[in-house]
């Protein structure tokens, strides 16, 4: 059986984060080292894969099935400290990992890698002068929790649309307004952190690139996502389904 014995005690800030974890009953939906619920993702190694901007967004405005908790900056920092100090690879990993985590695996990572490769190679329908803006749009997309609701090349179960079709279905001024204000009545909060004029222009260029090159990017994404290997013998016991 897994035990939570550890040689290094939690810091005062992490202890405050643990109080928030317990007070908000986070374990009802999330697991730490095999203990907790299954509605939300396993957070054992969240500190290794969720950047601070996205964590603050998740703890304040929520995402998908996760409700907004309205954490203050101090509370968000405490929760980040708790997750950071709980992320102990030498104790084990509580998340099922397909393929090499360093390279990224799964549909979302494959989606981003396919776009990076196409932009770097100058492939697809994009003018040379627009390459930098498309890359900036991908970067702006990445640091926000867009992928929590939007799935590559299909609508998500929570109703978020396929982003590769958005530029063709919304007029530029309507798309710019959505990027600035969100669509709260349809479940999309305003972007966090907010997008300034340059960010919105870059994301619009990125979405236009997705739409114009949808077919080849989807094929490349599927090929990258298919290249996943799993050695069951290397997994700690709590990672088995």
Domains and CATH numbers, the chain: 12-96 (1.10.760.10), 107-226 (1.10.760)
DSSP of 19-87: HHHHHTTGGGT-EETTEE-SSS---TTHHHHS-HHHHHHHHHT-BTTBPP----HHHHHHHHHHHHHH-
Compute how many other C-beta atoms are within 10 angstroms of the C-beta atom of residue 122. 10
Q: Kindly give the confidence (pLDDT) of every residue in the chain, 241 residues in length, as a single tens digit, with 9 standing for 90 and above.
A: 344 555 678 899 999 999 999 888 888 888 887 777 777 788 888 888 788 888 888 898 887 678 889 899 999 999 999 999 988 766 666 654 444 444 444 677 789 889 999 988 877 666 656 888 999 999 888 877 677 678 899 887 667 899 999 999 999 999 999 999 988 777 787 887 789 999 999 999 999 999 999 999 999 998 887 755 555 555 554 444 4
Angle at 124 between CA 119 and CA 127, to 5 degrees: 75
* Structure token pair of residue 75: 């509370």
CA dist 97 and 22 (Å) reads: 26
Token pair belonging to 73: 């900056």
Q: Which H or E run includes 137? A: helix 131-142
């Amino acid at each position: 059986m897994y035990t939570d014995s550890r040689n290094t005690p939690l810091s005062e800030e992490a202890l405050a984060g643990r109080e928030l974890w317990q007070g908000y009953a986070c374990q009802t939906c999330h697991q730490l080292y095999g203990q907790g619920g299954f509605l939300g993702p396993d957070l054992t190694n969240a500190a290794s894969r969720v950047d601070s901007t996205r964590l603050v967004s998740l703890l304040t405005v929520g995402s998908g099935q996760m409700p907004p908790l309205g954490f203050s900056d101090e509370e968000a920092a405490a929760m980040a400290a708790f997750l950071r100090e709980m992320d102990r690879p030498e104790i084990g990993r509580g998340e099922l990992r397909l393929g090499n985590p360093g390279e990224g695996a799964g549909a979302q990572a494959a989606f981003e890698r396919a776009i990076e490769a196409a932009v770097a190679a100058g492939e697809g329908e994009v003018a040379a002068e627009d390459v930098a803006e498309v890359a900036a749009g991908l970067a702006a997309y990445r640091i926000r929790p867009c992928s929590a609701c939007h799935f590559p090349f299909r609508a998500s179960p929570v109703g978020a649309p396929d982003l590769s079709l958005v530029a063709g279905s919304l007029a530029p001024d309507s798309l710019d307004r959505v990027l600035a204000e969100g669509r709260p009545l349809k479940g999309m909060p305003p972007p966090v952190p907010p997008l300034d004029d340059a960010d919105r222009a870059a994301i619009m260029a990125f979405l236009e690139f997705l739409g114009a090159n949808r077919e080849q990017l989807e094929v490349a994404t599927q090929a990258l996502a298919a290249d996943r290997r799993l050695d069951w013998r290397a997994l700690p016991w709590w990672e088995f389904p």
